[in-house]
Amino acid sequence: MAINFPSSPSLNDLYTLGTRQWKWNGNGWALQPLTAGFTGSIGYTGSKGDIGYTGSKGDTGLGFNIAKTYTSVANLSADTSPTGINTGEFAIIENGSLTDAENSRLYLWNGSAYSFVSDLSGTIGFTGSFGYTGSKGDQGVIGYTGSKGDQGVIGYTGSKGFTGSKGDIGYTGSKGDQGDIGYTGSKGFTGSQGEIGFTGSKGFTGSKGDIGYTGSKGDIGYTGSKGDIGYTGSKGDIGYTGSEGNLDITTSATPPSSGVGEGDIWVDNATGVQYFYYNDGNSTQWVELSNQGVVGFTGSKGDQVDTVDSSNFSSAVTLLIKNSSGTTLKTIIGNAS
């Protein structure tokens, strides 16, 4: 039966002939892929190789430590060979002044010189981990309310520092018994804020361990003897040379619409798909080229050979082919070469 495509197709229209099917993509008839054959059963999985050795753990990194204190940057710069400080440790400028711009500057010692790291004046330090909450004590006797003291001088507000990383939350202790409610005492004086501790630097990561050894490859089985080559048929006569055709090949994003003849080729440069101009007797259209044959059924899988017993090899070679259960599937006897 000849191919006879519809003369006025719509987008995604299908045309079927035998086992083949085409779809109209707006420019031409695109050949649809064939259904694949049945897939054969999956072969046995080989045994898993040994796990490689784990590399040794790296050295623990040096923690954060301020080893030296100077009263000014000039004193720090003048101390070119400081003692009591190791490479990777810090020094700080501390002179107790709230107006000195050098106060609370942090420097890193690299073994040969100091380098500026950060200005800690007025900054909020990193938050330490929460301690355990102790049990609640008994309510003490509330004293008399004292008179309110004079308002102190308001100090200078320091610049807002960087927010430290959040520490781990500690465990909450058990709740104590409820004490009796006493008299309300006067508000005491607020204590000065203690110094905030520095967070240690992160240690170095240990080097990666060596990769384990790869197991040796098994021996390759014997190759069977090659069969005899068949006779070559006689060469046929050379056919007559046909007249030269007039084939045009066009590469573009859209199909050519003028100057097109039957058998011409158009290559869609967006997809790489090739079409030929075909006349089915009623109309002409672009049809996708295809040299693909029908996919055949996949044959069933044969028995797997797991063991080759070569203990009987001598001047006359005996080859036993066995499966995983030890059953002999085939015996081959031949002369040793």
310 and 287 both lie in a single domain: no
- CB atoms closer than 10 angstroms to residue 109: 19
Read off the pTM.
Answer: 0.24
Beta bridge partners of 21: 16
pLDDT-derived band at 293 (thresholds 50, 70, 90) equals very low
Residue 280 lies in a domain: yes
- The distance from CA 164 to its chain's CA centroid, rounded to whole angstroms, is 30
91 in any annotated domain: yes
Q: Which among 75, 90, 119 is the end of a domain?
A: 119
Span 215-234, average pLDDT: 69
Nearest to 195 by CA among 69, 60, 87: 69
Single out the residue of 50, 93, 330, 58 nearest to residue 213, CA to CA. 50
> 286 and 307: one domain?
no
- Asked if residue 209 lies in contact with residue 52, where contact means CB atoms within 8 angstroms, the answer is yes
Distances in Å between the Cα of 69 and the Cα atoms of 80, 95, 124 are 14, 9, 20
Residue 42 predicted with pLDDT over 60: yes
| Nearest-angstrom CA–CA distance, 331 and 20 | 47
- The secondary structure element, H or E, covering residue 135 is none
Total number of domains in the chain: 3
Distance (Å, whole) CA 185 – CA 54: 64
Give the separation between CA 120 and CA 164, rounded to whole angstroms: 12
As given in the structure block, the two tokens for residue 146 are 């004292």
From residue 194, give the alpha-carbon distance in Å to each of 69, 191, 197: 18, 9, 9
- Within a domain: 92: yes
Residue 134 domain-assigned (yes or no) = no
Q: What tokens appear for 242 in the block?
A: 């046909």
Q: Report residue 178 as tokens.
A: 């409820």
Give the number of other Cβ atoms within 10 Å of residue 185's Cβ. Answer: 13
- Kindly state the percentage of the chain with pLDDT values over 90: 24
Q: Tens digits of per-residue pLDDT, 297-331?
A: 666 666 665 555 555 555 556 667 787 778 887 77
> Does residue 238 sit within a domain?
no
Nearest in space to 29 (alpha carbons), one of 40, 21, 37, 38 = 21
Q: Give me the residue label for tokens 């040969």.
A: 112
Q: Are residues 285 and 307 in the same domain?
A: no
Q: Residues 284, 317: one domain?
A: no
For residue 239, what pLDDT is reported? Answer: 67
pLDDT at 58: 74
* H/E stretch holding 334: strand 328-335
- Report d(CA 309, CA 336) in Å as an integer: 16
Per-residue three-class SS string for 21-76: EEEECCCCEEECCCCCCCCCCCCCCCCCCCCCCCCCCCCCCCCCCEEEEECCHHHH
Is 263 a member of any domain? yes
Block residue for tokens 């995604």 = 12
Domain with 107, as residue range(s), is: 66-119
Same domain? For 279 and 307 the reply is: no
Domain annotation covers residue 163: no
Residue 246's nearest CA partner among 234, 236, 260 is 260
Does residue 115 belong to any structural domain of this protein?
yes
Q: How many CB atoms lie within 10 A of CB 284?
A: 15
Query: For residues 279 and 81, what is the distance between their CA atoms, to the nearest angstrom?
Result: 95
33 close to 39: Cβ distance less than 8 angstroms: no
**Using CB atoms within 10 A of its CB, is residue 187 exposed (0-12), middle (13-18) or buried (19+)?**
exposed
pLDDT band, residue 197 (cuts 50/70/90): low
pLDDT in tens, 110-151: 999 999 999 987 654 455 566 666 677 777 677 666 667 667
